Amino acid sequence: MYHNSESARLFGRRAAMLAGGQAVLVGSLVARMYYLQVMEAERYRLQAEGNRISTQLLAPPRGLILDRNGIAMAINQHNYRVLVIPEQTPSLNFTLDRLAQIIPLGESDRIRIAKDARRRRSFVPITVRENLSWEDVSRVEVNAPDLPGITIDVGQSRYYPMERLGAHLLGYVSVPSEQDLASQAADSLLELPGFRIGKAGVEKIYDLALRGKGGRSTMEVNSVGRVIKQLDRIEGEPGIDLNLTLDLRLQEYAAQRLGEESAAVVVMDIFSGNVLVMVSTPSFDPNAFNRGLTGAEWNELNTNPRSPLTNKAISGQFAPGSTFKLMVALAALEGGGISPDMRVFCPGHMQLGSVKFHCWKKGGHGSLDMVGGIKNSCDVYFYEIARRIGPDRIHDMALKFGLGQATGIDLSGEHPGLIPNRAWKKAAMGQPWHPGETLVNGIGQGYCLTTPLQLATMVARVANGGLQVVPRVARDEIDGRIVKPHDDHPQWPSCEVSPHSIDLVRRGMFGVSNEPGGTAYRARIQEENMWLSGKTGTAQVRHISMHERETGVKKNEELPWKERDHALFVAYAPEHAPRFAISVVVEHGGGGSAVAAPIARDIMIEVQRREVTRLNEMGKRE
Amino acid sequence: MRRPLHPPRPVGGLNRAEMSWRDKIRQINMSLLALITAVACIGFLTLYSAAQGSLEPWALKQMIRFMLGMGLLLTAAMVDIRNWMRYAYVFYGVSVVLLVIVQIHGTIGMGAQRWIDLGFIQLQPSELMKVALIMALSRYFHGQAPEDFRRLTSLFIPLIMVLVPVGLVLKQPDLGTALMLLMSSGAMFFIAGVRIWIFGIALAGGLGAIPVAWQFLHDYQRQRLIIFLNPDQDPLGAGYHITQSKIALGSGGLLGKGFMMGTQSRLNFLPEKQTDFIFTMFAEEWGMLGAVVLLFLYSLLVAWGYSISLRCRSQFSRLLALGIVTTFFLYFFINSAMVMGLVPVVGVPLPLISYGGTSMLSLLFGFGLVMCAHVHRDIPISRSGAVED
């Protein structure tokens, strides 16, 4: 028994040591559990929630865009899609074979679906086909029992029912770019697959209001992302419907009137700044972008010399030509020290040093005062005036009337144009101003560049007596998400030009359109109470050489399109109580009086007729 | 539940050579049985919850296995302890042979050769070896006097006995089981009375061998060790198990999310929730409170094993009982330390709770031997194996 009791004692000691060690180990387990389950519990609880909860954004329907009379210009169309959920099919190929008997299904579609099916988890729906017709949808629905795993899903896509009409103004929507995502990181809607935001025009400027507010659906998901149940659902706010100032029927009329020309027309209310018409031709069908363009179509749009994708009304910059003489005249009267009665003799040209500057009328106009100078658009008269007052005064006046800078219209992509002065030339070219440039500048040629919208704004400010009206296309003022109706006659700041000076210019414009000999007399309005006062402009785009002058200046019809003059016309109506201002620019169209003025006349008649009808209807209602 | 010991008598009594069936049954330690059953019941409940409130597919099968295991336990307890001692080496030898057979004919499972398919049961010889090695070492050390350990040569045979199965299991490869075998035999050497400085040398040698051992590790084993050292480096890849396990544990908090309410396990973020990570699931639903109760039950079981072991008269019984109990301790310690991110992920189940047949049966068989030691505690056995009078 000796060895046994000896062993037993040793065994007891060692067992006690072992037990002690084990107790320490168990203690460490408890300590670790305390650390994980008590001290760090909150952190892990959050992580477990993050695992469990998946949030899905619900895209709000985009606000509609309507014209001033409520005609829809941009709407949301149902986009019916066929989806297949692979795990609900007995076999993907079997279901797709069945489906192919009902709706056409291309081989490329099948390859794409098979690829998606391999890549994604089997409960994730795969798009089979998009933009289904209602007939196809019905056929699929009727055959649903034979199509296990197939579902129909309705998405939304933007549709512009007026197609080409107003396409430039509306702009378009597209998927957000990297920059969009970075600059608008706060709105998680942008990360939704397939979500589109405004990229140009009204769609861009009013994007936030049109977009609405996303809803959110909170779901419990398992480790592979399958939805177990919906926990919560917050509906978003749909986008705000936006009323434009545009009159779609006038827009349509103006577009038809311009026909195939590369041209732009802007008609605006001279008091409110509401733009009734803004046409740029040729146009394009924005829906084609949603459908997807072929390479050839895209090439045609991009390389067309008449640039259908550009909104010429705000982005096209043209020399204003003789329409600029209104500004020269005002600058001369306002501080230029020129009396309206001062007479200038026009022999058909003006000699400055060794250079001869020609008037558009070969024989000359003889002696003219200011009203006569405007009415006849005499170049020599304005050469002389410009020579006396210099380019800086002209520049300052032009800027007061909205030229040489963006008007601030609520559209994207507006170009500022250019009105030169001495300082500008020094800065831009590093050269002093030449006296000859003063003369060219005086008839709106040379460095001068204006957009059709600026010209309309300019004439509107002349017509309203010098109020600095700003054009706009949205009828409601949208500031963030609050929509409030516009004050129809906002208090515009004044140009600070004396009424006498403006009266004088307007008398000249009256002569242009309504007195025999005026440059637009043939394009006058004879309808009662609708007379317009205007100013023609013909902007030369090429240099006429001495040789050509001697052998006879070529007619526009003899020149290639790119070398023809731009035809311009600005006007307001009715002449006795001005309401509307118009500018027409026909790119390489020829002479302002022959091409642009008749277009302006027809459109202004239509504008005023519509206004009369509208007022009558309002009268009846009251 | 200490029963009064009868004083030794020449004929009859508990220290007599032969005990009747009635005596044996009377000596069964009901507390041990109750503790084992309590832990197993926690397992059934957790498996029921893992199946989201269903007996299928795990809980019912586990109960049936437990019943079988209890039968095995009681049978093992009834066998005369001297027979276990007599056949210890045979049992060990058979286990070694089975390990070799697994190398040759084994079925590939979980990337390692571990099973022999006998048709009705998949035999896992490495599980068998855990018990067999303890039996063999107990028998060997039973035959040694404490002074024998002064001669290092006396350690030669038991070292071979340990290293042969460890090598075979490593070859499968099953690092977890190999380490378990090493650690439980180390404990056997320790309680048998081997000098402590020898352990110091062995430990130093072991640490020195780590760079060499690294070369022999499989890629996935290295990966596990790297992930253990830095689980956040790849939270969705190889670190996924341990990261999700810690989230589940931590989010359980002090009081847990409630029975069948564990989101991590219910939504399948927690992998292997019915097997190796069942402790995590239990602790997610029952919180730290539940986990501490479970650890307490385990510790109580181990303590019971100690008290049984210390009351045995023969060195064989003492060593056997404590060896088995130590193996059991290693099971629950390694598993729970693993799911808490304290030790690397090794395939060690939570004893009596994790779903799995072989480990349940081998554990209950092991407890059968502990019970056997208890039932036969007063039978003295001589060094040669004969009953001492």
CATH of the domain at A111: 3.30.1390
CA-angle at B242, arms to B238 and B246, nearest 5°: 150
CB B123 within 8 A of CB B115: yes
d(CA A79, CA A36) in angstroms, rounded, equals 50
Domain boundary among A124, A154, A184: A154
Rg (CA), chain A: 36
Q: Is A355 on the interface with B (CB under 8 A)?
A: no
- Judged by DSSP in three states, B87 sits in coil
Angle, nearest 10°, between helix axes A379-400 and A325-333? 80
Determine, yes or no, domain membership for A12: no
Quick check: A29 and B333 CB within 8 A?
Answer: yes
DSSP state, A145?
A: G
The answer to whether residues A599 and A593 touch, using CB atoms and an 8 Å cutoff, is no
Q: Show contacts of A479-483: CB within 8 Å, 24+ apart.
A: A480/A208, A480/A209, A481/A208, A481/A209, A481/A240, A483/A209, A483/A240
DSSP string, B214-225: HHHS-HHHHHHH
Q: Please give the single-letter amino acid code of residue A358.
A: H
| Gap from B332 CA to chain A (nearest CA, Å) | 10
Structural element, H or E, at residue A390: helix A379-400
CB contact under 8 A, A33 and B263: no
Q: Among A154, A177, A209, where does a domain finish? A: A154
Using an 8 Å Cβ cutoff, are B52 and B285 in contact?
Answer: no
In a shared domain, residues A568 and A459 = yes
* Cβ atoms of A82 and A140 closer than 8 Å: yes
A619 in helix, strand or coil? helix
Number of domains comprising chain A: 3
A37 interfacial to chain B (CB closer than 8 Å):
yes
Residue window 295-334, chain A: list those with CB within 8 Å of chain B. Answer: none
Of B263, B315, B340, the CB nearest to A4: B315
Report the gap between the CA of A475 and the closest CA in chain B (Å): 53
Residue A577 CA to residue A569 CA, distance in Å, equals: 20
> What pLDDT sits at residue A251?
94
Examine residue B57 and say whether the peptide bond preceding it is cis (omega within 30 degrees of 0).
Answer: yes
Burial of A35 (0-12, 13-18, 19+ CB in 10 A): middle
Residues of A in contact with B287 (CB under 8 A): 37
- Shortest distance between the Cα of B352 and any Cα of chain A, in A, equals 18
Residue A392: alpha-carbon gap to chain centroid: 33
Q: Mean pLDDT by 10-residue block, N- to C-terminus, for chain A (622 residues)?
A: 67 93 95 92 87 78 89 87 82 86 84 81 76 84 83 82 89 82 74 77 89 82 75 84 91 92 93 92 85 78 87 93 94 89 92 90 91 94 94 94 92 92 92 91 93 96 93 69 50 89 94 92 90 92 75 78 90 92 92 89 94 81 64
- Among the partner-chain residues A7, A19, A43, the one whose CB lies closest to the CB of B250 is A43
Beta carbons of A37 and B380 less than 8 Å apart: no
- CB pair distance less than 8 Å for B190 and A19: no
Q: Which of A322, A377, A513, A593 is catalytic?
A: A322
Query: What pLDDT is stored for residue A286 in this prediction?
Result: 86
- Would an 8 Å CB–CB cutoff place A8 in contact with chain B? yes
Asked if the C-beta of A181 comes within 8 angstroms of chain B's C-beta atoms, the answer is no
Residue A579's contacts (CB-CB under 8 Å, 6 or more residues apart) are: A269, A270, A271, A572, A573, A608, A611
Residue located via tokens 């600070």: A496
Question: B224 to chain A, minimum CA–CA distance in Å?
Answer: 20
| ipTM field | 0.89
Any B CB within 8 A of A52 CB = yes
Q: Are residues A176 and A84 in the same domain?
A: no
Residues A269 and A335 in one domain: yes
What is d(CA B127, CA B363) in angstroms, rounded to the nearest whole number? 9
Residues 6+ apart with CB under 8 A from B310: A11, A12, A15, B318
Q: Is A322 a catalytic residue?
A: yes
| CA neighbor of A400 nearest in space, from A350, A468, A322, A453 | A468
β-bridge partners, A234: A216
Nearest chain B residue to A21, by CA: B187
Residues 6+ apart with CB under 8 A from B17: B379, B387
If asked whether residues A234 and A266 sit together in one domain, one would say: no
Residue A36 lies in a domain: no
Spell out the SS3 assignment of A302-327.
HHCCCCCCCCHHHHCCECCHHHHHHH
Q: Is residue A214 part of a domain?
A: yes
Nearest chain A CA: its distance from B21 CA (Å): 27
Cis geometry, peptide bond prior to residue B173 (ω within 30 degrees of 0): yes
Low-confidence ranges of chain B (pLDDT < 50): 1-2, 7-13, 109-111, 388-389
Please provide the size of chain A in residues. Answer: 622
Cβ(A369)–Cβ(A342) under 8 Å? yes
Residue with structure tokens 């296990």?
A148
Residues A378 and A508 in one domain: yes
CATH number for the domain harbouring residue A182? 3.90.1310.10
In a 13 Å sphere around the CA of B178, the CA atoms on its Cβ side amount to 16
Q: Whole-model pTM?
A: 0.63
* Cα A548 to Cα A551: distance, rounded to the nearest angstrom: 5
User: In A120-205, where does DSSP find H-type helix?
Assistant: 134-142, 167-170, 178-183, 201-205
Optimal mutation site among B185, B243, B247, B343, interface A, most CBs of chain A within 10 A: B247
- Helix ranges (H only) for A274-366 are 287-291, 295-303, 312-315, 325-333
What is the pLDDT at residue B229? 66
Chain B within 8 Å of A26 (Cβ-Cβ)? Answer: yes
> Dihedral (C-alpha) A176, A180, A182, A184: value to the nearest 10 degrees?
-100
Q: Which of A6, A33, A49 sits opposite B340 (nearest CB)?
A: A33
Buried b (16+ CB within 10 A) or exposed e, A408-431: ebbbbebbebbbbbeebbeeeeee
Which amino acid, one-letter code, is at B115?
A: W
On whether the CB atoms of residues A502 and A466 are closer than 8 A, the answer is: yes
Residues 279-338 of B with CB under 8 A from A: 283, 287-288, 291-292, 295, 299, 302-303, 306, 309-310, 313-315, 318-319, 322, 326, 329, 333, 336-337
Cβ–Cβ contact A222 with B under 8 A: yes
Q: A18 lies in a domain?
A: no
Chain A neighbors of B336, CB-CB under 8 A: 29
Q: Are strands B122-123 and A150-159 parallel, antiparallel or unpaired?
A: unpaired
A187 and A112 housed in the same domain? no
Task: Tell me the C-alpha to C-alpha distance, in Å, between residue A342 and each of A387, A397, B335.
Answer: 14, 20, 108
AA identity, residue A391? P
Pick from B269, B315, B59: nearest CA to A15: B315
- In a shared domain, residues A205 and A351: no
Domain presence at residue A42: no
Across the interface, whether the CB atoms of A47 and B322 are under 8 A apart is answered no
CA distance A239 to chain B (A): 37
Which chain A positions have a beta carbon within 8 Å of B319's beta carbon?
11
Please state whether A242 falls in left (phi above 0), alpha (psi between -120 and 50) or beta.
Answer: beta
Select the residue of B250, B263, B342 nearest A52 (Cβ to Cβ).
B263
Spatial separation of the C-alpha atoms in residues A438 and A450, rounded to whole Å: 17
- Give the largest Cα separation in chain B, rounded: 69
Query: Percentages helix, strand, coil for chain B, rounded to the nearest 5?
Result: 65, 5, 30
> Which three-class secondary structure state does DSSP give residue B320?
helix
Do residues B77 and B24 touch, judged by C-beta distance below 8 A?
A: yes
Of A4, A14, A40, the CB nearest to B250: A40
A21 part of contact set with chain B, CB < 8 Å:
no
Q: Inter-chain contact A26–B253, Cβ cutoff 8 Å?
A: no
- Which residue among A6, A30, A51 sits closest to B295, beta carbon to beta carbon? A30
Going by their DSSP bridges, the two strands A349-352 and A355-358 should be labelled as antiparallel
Distance from CA of A59 to the nearest CA of B (A): 28
Taking the Cβ of residue A231 and every Cβ of chain B, the question of whether any pair is shorter than 8 Å is answered with no
Contact B250 A44 (CB under 8 A): yes
Compute the residue count for chain B.
Answer: 389
Q: Give the range of the structural domain holding residue A225, as residue numbers without chain letter.
A: 47-71+162-244
Any domain includes A431: yes
Verify that A336 and A469 share a domain, yes or no. yes
Q: How far is A222 from chain B (nearest CA, A)?
A: 4
**3-state class (DSSP) for residue A407:** coil
A227 Cβ under 8 Å from any chain B Cβ: no
- Residues A415 and A515 reside in one and the same domain: yes
Partner-chain residue, chosen from A22, A23, A45, that has the shortest CB–CB distance to B251: A45
Give the model confidence (pLDDT) of B118-159 as tens digits: 655 667 888 889 999 999 999 999 988 777 777 778 888 999
Q: Residue A323 has which token pair? A: 């329409």
Sign, CA dihedral B213-B216-B220-B226, equals positive
Cβ-Cβ contacts under 8 Å, A40 against chain B: 250
Supply the pLDDT for residue B230: 65
Nearest to A83 by CA among A53, A29, A128, A145: A128
State whether A11 and B191 contact (CB < 8 Å): yes
Residue A32 in any domain: the answer is no
Which residue, of A192, A219, A244, is where some domain finishes?
A: A244
- A226 lies in the same domain as A110: no
Domain shared by A371 and A329, yes or no: yes
pLDDT at position B71, please?
95
Q: Cβ contacts (< 8 Å) between A20 and chain B: which residues?
A: none
Residues A422 and A523 in one domain: yes
Are the C-beta atoms of residues B65 and B361 closer than 8 Å to each other? yes
Task: Please name which of B370, B358, B369, B361 lies closest in space to residue B68, comparing C-alpha atoms.
Answer: B361
- The answer to whether position A34 is within a domain reads no
Instruction: List, as ranges, residues 229-248 from B with C-beta within 8 Å of A.
Output: 244, 246-248
- Strand blocks (E) in B146-278: none
Is residue A92 a contact partner of residue A84, using CB atoms and an 8 Å limit? yes
A18 touches chain B (CB under 8 A): yes
Locate A599 and state its tokens: 């277009």
